[in-house]
Amino acid sequence: MTATNTRRLAPHLPSGRGPISQAVIDHCAGRTRMPLSSPPSSDPYGDDLQLALYVCYELHYRGFDGVPDSMEWDLDLVGFRLELEAIFLEQLRLDVAGGDDVEAEIAGLLSEPVGERGISHHLAREGTREQFAEYVTHRSAYHLKEADPQVLVVSRMDGRAKAGLVAVEHDEYGAGRASDMHSELYAEMMQELGLASGYGELVDLISGSVLAEVNFMSLCGLRRELRAASVGQFAVIELTSSPGSARLVRAAQRLRCGPATEHYYAEHVEADAVHEQILRREVIAPLLAQEPELAPDLVFGIQASQLLGGRFADEVGRAWSTGRSSLR
């Protein structure tokens, strides 16, 4: 991984990770124009299926270099994506407890288990600079487009909940200052760490478990029926970010990563503490007051996000505990 000051608007198509993702990539590149067949049996959380979904979703964001914009609504590709989504969603619903007790789920987000040993704990305590850079690489799949998946749901909201969500998004986008957008701050941190900071530039190195987290955000944002799940997913980010960000500030200081790295995480310690209150009082409460039947979907968004985040943390922890890199 080498630093670069050239940041393309649209990244190159990634390399395939199996028959499903390769079929999607070939279709986008125009190498095959036949209708895509039903996906073969595959791990719903695996690299192959998740990369295929990621490529499909990226057509709704920046697209890819050399791929026509019209591919975003290619009927064969959209139909294939819906089949992949069905596989992913079915597995998520099987793997979470479900329910409609939103308050209990929120309470769980606001308290960290005693003795928890997650990635930020490891990096703050004993992680290496190389491991810190690996973590930043993985998270770039989301943070270089930070808040974009969640902004998709704004048009699907109404009243106070919509205004509250926009208030949070306003901060994510730098309160109107391009240089303060969180995605820009993340890119500056990547450059400081010697990483390529172009949008989508490092996807070939990033774990499928990370792509699954980002894909869940896009899936919920693009489906009106999952608008409450999108809010639940966003709540997981905003309500749990501050303590972890504080630990990553300490890690950056201990490892002497530099001011841009410290600033990115310090910004999230303060900002996400405020966002927590807005999301709880000005988004979730009015949304459920207006549409109480959405409670199970909101719970699903929280639980599925925690499940996917836990899978990523376990994967990285296993790699680091055996002295291996967590990157592909």
From first to last of its 328 residues, what are the pLDDT tens digits of the chain?
Answer: 444 444 457 899 999 999 999 999 999 999 887 677 767 778 999 999 999 999 999 999 999 999 999 999 999 999 999 999 999 999 999 999 999 999 999 999 988 765 667 999 999 999 999 999 999 999 999 999 999 999 999 999 999 999 999 999 999 999 999 999 999 999 999 999 999 999 999 999 999 999 999 999 999 999 999 999 999 999 999 888 889 999 999 999 999 999 999 999 999 888 777 888 899 999 999 999 999 999 999 999 999 999 999 999 999 999 999 999 999 9
Query: Which of 71, 94, 117 is the last residue in one of the domains?
Result: 94
Answer positive or negative: Cα dihedral of 165, 168, 171, 173: negative
Residue that is last in its domain, among 65, 94, 123: 94
Q: Is residue 154 part of a domain?
A: yes
Question: What pLDDT shows up at residue 114?
Answer: 56
Q: Quote the number of domains for the chain.
A: 2
Residue 87's nearest CA partner among 46, 57, 55, 26 is 46
Cβ neighbors of 73 (< 8 A, separation 6 or more) are none
Q: Is residue 286 part of a domain?
A: yes
If 0-12 CB within 10 Å is exposed, 13-18 middle and 19+ buried, where does residue 250 land?
A: middle
Indicate if 159 and 293 belong to the same structural domain: yes
Structure confidence at residue 71 (pLDDT):
96
Q: How far apart (Å, rounded) are the C-alpha atoms in residues 90 and 79? A: 17
Same domain, 88 and 164: no
How far apart are alpha carbons 97 and 306 in whole angstroms? 12
Does 79 fall in a domain? yes
Q: Is 124 contained in some domain?
A: yes
Same domain, residue pair 282 and 258: yes
Do 171 and 128 have their domain in common?
yes
Task: Verify that 109 and 52 share a domain, yes or no.
Answer: no
**Residues with Cβ within 8 Å of residue 180, at least 6 apart in sequence:** 174
Residue 196 and residue 68 share a domain: no
Cα–Cα distance for residue pair 34/214, rounded to 1 Å = 28
Nearest-CA neighbor of 320 among 127, 140, 138?
A: 127
Q: Which of 20, 16, 64, 14 is nearest to 42 (CA)?
A: 20
C-alpha 280/C-alpha 277 separation (Å) is 5
What span, in angstroms and rounded, lies between the C-alpha atoms of 325 and 320? 6
**CA–CA gap between residue 274 and residue 238 (Å, rounded):** 9
Q: Are residues 290 and 154 in the same domain?
A: yes
The position carrying tokens 């048009």 is 155
Which range of residues forms the domain containing residue 261? 101-321
- Of 113, 240, 182, give the one whose Cα is nearest residue 232: 240
